[in-house]
């Protein structure tokens, strides 16, 4: 099990590294995180919802993602409340105090699912959450030392040196644990290192003497491009300027969800992708994307309160293409209605008015995988090429109706591999505003290629001939991650920890 001294110390990525290494070494391996809090989620082939970090780890393990890898997912809906998803299905919304009281009821379920995975795989790599030393939350813990006890698992503790104070955070974490919990910690990894390791060596030796736990290695920053799911991701920082590149601006909403939708776009050398907040101006965009949101009406209010709504509309008037995904698609319409308070207390709000659509929040949550074709290509890409195949997954509550001035964007032909025949999304009459409920639509290389080429041609730049092979790209990045881990962390010691566990 990998635990950390705090949130965002790199547990998810190092879990993926171990998953890829164990897979490379011939083991059947699976990730597991009993409880995850994230707004980036995924829909499995069974229509179940899970955190994307475990999806990345499953890909690194070369297995299909399963909601069993993440039986509890918490999706914040307000400052002190979250939607609780259990075994891939929405349970209910709860406040923090309500969930804390509810947690003991989940232990048996977590234990059963963990044991099922443990019996099906050679190795389970468990990821913790936050810190095991949050002494106010230790009672009824089900994700850190409480999970280690359920699994009877050894623990490797990760500290983040980039944020400073790594020795104090590791020492303090260990000292705040109970004696039986401290005994579970078999190794320490220092993560996110920059600079000369020789300067660090004396501190590592002193730390080992203080806590009587070996340091297994120091993991440096690497030239890697692997999805992350945390809201404090470095992806939201200002991107480097690129010469002769098309400009793609993604609106950074307070409740932004599934910003992993844009991972593939970030890999393209022809694109400069930026995340735009309320303090930014949208001045030279070729494409403005309004992403998904866990609280669409609240985030739409944020756009209006900060003036970002006017920035988007003015950017459209200057010729930028506007694209909305899920909640972003809903915001592009004429109105959003929430008569049953599915999202909050605001019953209705005018949208941005860029698409002739209306959305009402009602009914059960839609969670499905779909395939289909973008058929309005003559309107969107100013060409008459053949329909473009797309695939993705839907996670939304709202139902959207199209008006007479909007055309369907995608003809859905498969739903969970079964034949289907309905339409998704919308495009305006001039083909420069469009939206869809499909998360992952940009993961399809052919569709992304057409979007990028359309924008390149508008700028008078050369087209790109080859579609993006996202799967091949990801495989290469996972292998690079595993190589970096092997070069800097003592894998012999990790295997020895595993052997001791089996004895």
Residues marked as catalytic: 326, 439
Task: List all residues 6 or more positions away from 481 whose beta carbon is below 8 Å from its beta carbon.
Answer: 13, 16, 17, 20, 60, 222, 224, 226
How many other CB atoms are found less than 10 A from the CB of residue 355?
27
Which residue, 167, 168, 163, 146, is CA-closest to 155?
146
Residue located via tokens 């669409």: 296
How many other CB atoms are found less than 10 A from the CB of residue 74?
20
SS3 state at 11: helix
Cβ 376 vs Cβ 435: under 8 Å: no
Which residue, 287, 345, 343, 291, is CA-closest to 316?
287
Task: List all residues 6 or more positions away from 458 whose beta carbon is below 8 Å from its beta carbon.
Answer: 286, 319
Q: Strands 41-43 and 49-51: what pairing? A: antiparallel
Query: Helices then strands (H, E): number in the chain?
Result: 16, 27
CA atoms within 13 A on the CB side of 325: 25
What gap in Å lies between CA 417 and CA 45, rounded to an integer? 9
What gap in Å lies between CA 162 and CA 498, rounded to an integer? 29
């Amino acid at each position: 099990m990998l635990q950390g001294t705090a949130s965002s110390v790199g547990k998810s990525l190092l879990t993926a590294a171990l998953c890829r290494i164990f897979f490379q070494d011939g083991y059947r391996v699976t990730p597991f995180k009993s409880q995850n809090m994230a707004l980036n989620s995924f829909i499995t082939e069974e229509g179940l919802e899970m955190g994307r970090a475990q999806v990345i780890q499953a890909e690194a393990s070369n297995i299909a993602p399963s909601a069993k890898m993440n039986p509890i997912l918490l999706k914040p809906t307000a400052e002190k409340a979250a939607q609780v998803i259990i075994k891939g299905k929405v349970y209910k919304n709860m406040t923090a105090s309500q969930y804390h009281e509810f947690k003991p009821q989940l232990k048996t379920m977590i234990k059963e699912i963990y044991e099922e995975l443990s019996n099906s795989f050679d190795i389970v790599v468990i990821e913790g959450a936050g810190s095991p030393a949050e002494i106010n939350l230790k009672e009824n813990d089900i994700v850190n030392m409480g999970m280690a006890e359920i699994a009877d698992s050894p623990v490797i503790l990760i500290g983040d040196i980039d944020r400073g104070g790594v020795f104090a955070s590791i020492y303090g974490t260990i000292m705040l644990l109970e004696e039986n919990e401290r005994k579970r910690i078999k190794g320490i990894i220092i993560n996110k290192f920059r600079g000369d390791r020789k300067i660090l060596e004396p501190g590592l030796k002193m730390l080992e003497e203080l806590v009587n736990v070996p340091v297994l290695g120091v993991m440096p920053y690497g030239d890697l491009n692997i999805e992350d799911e945390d809201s404090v991701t470095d992806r939201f920082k200002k991107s480097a300027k690129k010469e002769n590149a098309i400009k793609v601006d993604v609106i950074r909403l307070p409740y932004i969800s599934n910003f992993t939708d844009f991972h593939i776009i970030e890999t393209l050398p022809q694109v400069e992708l930026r995340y735009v907040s309320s303090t930014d101006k949208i001045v030279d965009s070729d494409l403005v994307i309004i992403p998904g949101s866990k609280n669409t009406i609240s985030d739409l209010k944020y756009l209006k309160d900060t003036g970002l709504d006017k920035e988007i509309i003015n950017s459209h008037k200057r010729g930028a293409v506007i694209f909305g995904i899920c909640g972003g698609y809903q915001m592009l319409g004429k109105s959003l209605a929430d008569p049953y308070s599915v999202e909050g207390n605001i019953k209705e709000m005018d949208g941005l008015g860029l698409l002739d659509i209306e959305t009402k929040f009602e009914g059960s949550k839609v969670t499905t995988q779909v395939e289909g074709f973008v058929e309005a290509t003559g309107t969107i890409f100013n060409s008459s090429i053949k329909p473009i195949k797309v695939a993705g997954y839907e996670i939304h509550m709202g139902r959207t109706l199209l008006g007479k001035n909007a055309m369907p964007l995608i003809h859905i032909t498969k739903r969970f591999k079964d034949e289907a025949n309905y339409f998704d999304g919308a495009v305006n009459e001039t083909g420069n505003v469009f939206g869809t409920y499909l998360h992952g639509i940009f993961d399809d290389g052919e569709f992304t290629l057409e979007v990028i080429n359309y924008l390149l041609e508008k700028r008078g730049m050369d087209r790109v001939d080859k579609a993006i092979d996202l799967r091949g790209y990801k495989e290469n990045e996972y292998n690079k991650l595993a190589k970096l881990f092997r070069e800097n962390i003592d894998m012999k010691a990790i295997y020895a920890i595993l052997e001791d566990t089996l004895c």
